[in-house]
Amino acid sequence: MLVTVALLAGLTTLPIAGKQCNDVGTWGTTCHASTDGSQVTVGGTVGSGGSNASPGGHAPPSTGSSPDAGSQAIAPQDCGPADVLCRGRGFGVVSLPDVMASDLASFAPAKPSFEAEPGGVGIVGMPTNFVASASTQTLTGTLFDRPVTVRFSPSAYVFSYGDGSSARSASGGAAWTALGQPQFTATPTSHAYGSRGVYIAVVSVEYVAAVDFGTGWRPVMGVVTAAGPGQRVEIFEARTALVDKTCAENPSGPGC
């Protein structure tokens, strides 16, 4: 019977702890081991015709042809790159490649939502509030010919306001109502425009990523950026005048 043991933590090699193939007391004289880079297979016989392991991964006793209470468990053991003895018993060391953000081109996180308060308009010299939203996302696919799960977590928001200025924030901001503030109050993500006109504001979200090839999460070097749709903002001028009547009462009055 063959015993197959899966690889752990990005390192291959799972030899039998404390036992070698030439340990006749456990494995007999026909023990052999092999690895194909993704699993380790151990096989052999004990005595005359007995199998070398039970389906539960236990070695048989040193004599006889069937397992009994004297069976010993197969304990996994990592084979380090410098462990010459371990590697000399037929097991190799395979390290998973480091993953760069550029390797995740086929795994695109969703675009963030984006809006400008109040209602996509603003007043020259007064804060226009920008609010963006993004969340942690998990995608599955294939990377380096291996099945992989990729996790994206937002880490920073970069606001480009359309007038040549920009700001970077650890969060996407919040609406004035959520902050308990009146309109045109400055917030960490607001911006005051210097002149009237129509501007296209954009937010980009930087995601930190991690990958899991089935051996646990491993960080990805660099960040992945996803830009949201452009947000149209129209900025008006506000002028004041001291009058004795409203525009409804005197439509031709100053500022009417």
Determine the average pLDDT of the residues in 129-158: 93
Q: Whole-angstrom Cα distance, residue 111 to residue 185?
A: 27
Chain segment 114-131, per-residue pLDDT in tens: 999 998 999 999 999 999
137 within 8 A of 251, measured Cβ to Cβ: no
Instruction: Give domain limits for the chain.
Output: 1-95, 101-236
Q: For 101-236, CATH number?
A: 2.60.40.10
Q: Whole-angstrom Cα distance, residue 12 to residue 69?
A: 30
pLDDT of residue 86: 58
Chain segment 43-77, per-residue pLDDT in tens: 554 444 444 433 344 444 444 444 444 434 333 44
Higher pLDDT, 170 or 79: 170
pLDDT of residue 155: 94
pLDDT of residue 54: 38
| DSSP assignments along 38-93, one per residue | SEEEEE-EETTTEES--TTSEEPPSSSSS--TT-EEPPP----TT-HHHHHTT---
Average pLDDT, the chain: 73
* pTM strictly above 0.85: no
Chain segment 78-100, per-residue pLDDT in tens: 555 555 565 555 555 556 778 99
Q: Is 103 helix (H, G, I), strand (E, B) or coil?
A: helix
DSSP 101: G
pLDDT at 134 exceeding the cut of 90? yes
Determine the average pLDDT of the residues in 171-190: 92
